[in-house]
Amino acid sequence: MPRLNNPRVTLAIIAVALVLPLVIQNFLTFQLTLVLVYAIAIIGLNLLTGFNGQFSLGHSAFYAIGAYVAAMLMDKADFPYAMTLPVAGIACFVFGFLFGLPALRLEGVYLALATFALAVATPQILKLSPLEHWTGGVQGIVVNKPEAPFGLPLTEDQWLYYFTLLITIVMTVLAHNLVASRTGRAMMAIRDNPIAARSMGINIALYKSLTFGVSALYTGVAGALGAIVVQFVAPDSFTFFLSISLLVGLVVGGVGWIPGAFFGGAFVLFVPNLAESFSKGLSGAVYGVMIIVLIYVLPTGAAGLTRAASRWWRAKA
């Protein structure tokens, strides 16, 4: 897998990312923040599906849980927004780990169905009347947009962008280190050949469940961030279609390549809008065509493209 080995490239990208919100409109900053949020969620999905081979259609559930934990804490308990992230993360980790346990027995499509059940169940549970007091029922919860701290001369959108960017960088580095570590290799061994992995002494059950937990944690943190950025959570924002979008983002970015999540996040956020600008009535069709064409042309997603580009670059040098 291509690695952004060149630290100069990475620093250049981060420098650009830092400067961007100061030169673009607020709304675009808001959109870029969401791209980062989706990227974190997609990293989570990549850890589970790309690196560990467990197929999940249910990540919208973890995103939703993270979002609702954040929203409820801010709304009902006056939690400071930054503190909701670790709580959401831990809650999702526990939930993901617990879900991963029975899921251990399921393979491939059967696991897909179980996670799919999770995705479909979540909005329905969130809408349940007995729980309305906590969840806000169908109408959801509205949260306040945080202001820049210490009186910094930033708009709320800009501040949130930098806040999200910081979290994103931290989590990306952590994910990268995880994948490059022994644990990461164990995860991939389980994906590629579980029987051989077990015969080498890897505790498959433990690793698979842990991966589920970590994956859920990432997507949950993304959900919490998303709730803060969008200022609003409602059950119908977290349907099965969110799971599908995350999956599409994963494939577009390139399975098994962490930085691909950013391409994926951008695709998921911007392309539907792009499709709509092509043709209002047929926006869905245009979106579908774009996905299919992308799969034909770039079956390994942005990962493959970057790999080819870096090969070309190195050949020139």
Residues that bind another protein (CB under 8 A): 49, 55, 102, 105-107, 109-110, 112-114, 116-117, 120-121, 124-125, 127-130, 195, 244, 247-248, 250-252, 255, 281-292, 294-296, 299
142-to-24, 37, 91 alpha-carbon distances in Å: 27, 18, 21
Neighbours of 236 (CB within 10 A): 11
> The tokens 């259609």 sit on which residue?
57
Q: Measured from the CB of residue 296, what is the shortest distance to another protein in angstroms?
A: 6
Which residue's CB is nearer to another protein, number 170 or number 285? 285
45-to-6, 134, 228, 275, 303 alpha-carbon distances in Å: 25, 28, 21, 25, 16
Q: Measured from the CB of residue 45, what is the shortest distance to another protein in angstroms?
A: 10
H-helix or E-strand spanning residue 232 = strand 232-233
Q: Measured from the CB of residue 13, what is the shortest distance to another protein in angstroms?
A: 26
Which residue's CB is nearer to another protein, number 49 or number 158? 49
- The residues pairing with 232 across neighbouring beta strands, listed in sequence order, are 142
Which candidate, 93, 126, 101, places its Cα nearest to that of 213?
93
Q: Measured from the CB of residue 185, what is the shortest distance to another protein in angstroms?
A: 20
Give the contacts of 262 (CB within 8 A, at least 6 positions apart): 35, 36, 39, 253
Which residue's CB is nearer to another protein, number 29 or number 306? 306
Q: Measured from the CB of residue 241, what is the shortest distance to another protein in angstroms?
A: 10
Which residue's CB is nearer to another protein, number 107 or number 147? 107
Residue type, 30: F
Which residue's CB is nearer to another protein, number 71 or number 248? 248
Q: Measured from the CB of residue 294, what is the shortest distance to another protein in angstroms?
A: 8
Q: Measured from the CB of residue 46, what is the shortest distance to another protein in angstroms?
A: 11
Measured between alpha carbons, how far is 91 from 123 in angstroms, rounded to an integer? 18
Structure tokens, 298: 């770039």
Which candidate, 237, 243, 251, 258, places its Cα nearest to that of 290?
251
Which residue's CB is nearer to another protein, number 202 or number 248? 248
Q: Measured from the CB of residue 23, what is the shortest distance to another protein in angstroms?
A: 34
Helix residue ranges per DSSP H, 104-181: 108-126, 132-135, 156-180
Residue type, 196: A
Angle, CA of 73, 63 and 103, to the nearest 5°: 120
Which candidate, 179, 227, 223, places its Cα nearest to that of 59?
223
Which residue's CB is nearer to another protein, number 9 or number 289? 289
Residue type, 311: R
Dihedral pair phi/psi, residue 314, rounded to 5°: -70, -30
Which residue's CB is nearer to another protein, number 131 or number 166? 131
